[in-house]
């Protein structure tokens, strides 16, 4: 049975947002909002008093981290594929005889 979306209230840059999310996503959504708030505080402490500028930098940093993570995952998947191919080359002749 599919669960209905729930309403979640989060605050980002001192503005409230009411979101409709799947119940299993609530924790992740709240965590994401908290990370944005924490990063906003960090950027303000670094002297970025303009909220728009700080939010842009947070978005940029997030995308850089995402791209790095995706590339790391691709390298890991390629390594796993290479190892499986190596194992297949060793095992296939052994079981074919």
Q: Residue 77 — very low, low, confident or very high, per pLDDT cuts 50/70/90?
A: very high
Give the count of beta carbons closer than 10 Å to the beta carbon of residue 36. Answer: 19
Contact present, 25 and 41 (Cβ < 8 Å): no
Q: Is residue 86 part of a domain?
A: no
Contact present, 10 and 25 (Cβ < 8 Å): no
Give the count of beta carbons closer than 10 Å to the beta carbon of residue 2. Answer: 5
Encode pLDDT of 13-26 as tens digits: 989 999 999 999 99
Q: Is residue 25 part of a domain?
A: yes
Domain range enclosing 50: 6-68
Q: Is residue 81 part of a domain?
A: no
Q: Is residue 80 part of a domain?
A: no
- The reported pTM is 0.75
Q: Residue 4 — very low, low, confident or very high, per pLDDT cuts 50/70/90?
A: confident
Tell me the average pLDDT across 84-95: 92
Q: Is residue 45 part of a domain?
A: yes
């Amino acid at each position: 049975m599919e669960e209905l979306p729930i309403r979640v209230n989060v605050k980002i840059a001192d503005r409230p947002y009411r979101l409709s999310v799947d119940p299993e996503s609530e924790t992740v959504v709240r965590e994401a909002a908290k990370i944005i708030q924490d990063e906003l505080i960090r950027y303000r402490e670094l002297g970025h008093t303009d909220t728009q500028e700080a939010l842009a930098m947070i978005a940029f940093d997030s995308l850089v981290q995402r791209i790095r993570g995706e590339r790391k995952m691709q390298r890991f998947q390629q390594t796993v594929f290479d190892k499986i191919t190596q194992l297949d080359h060793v095992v296939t002749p052994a079981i074919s005889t």
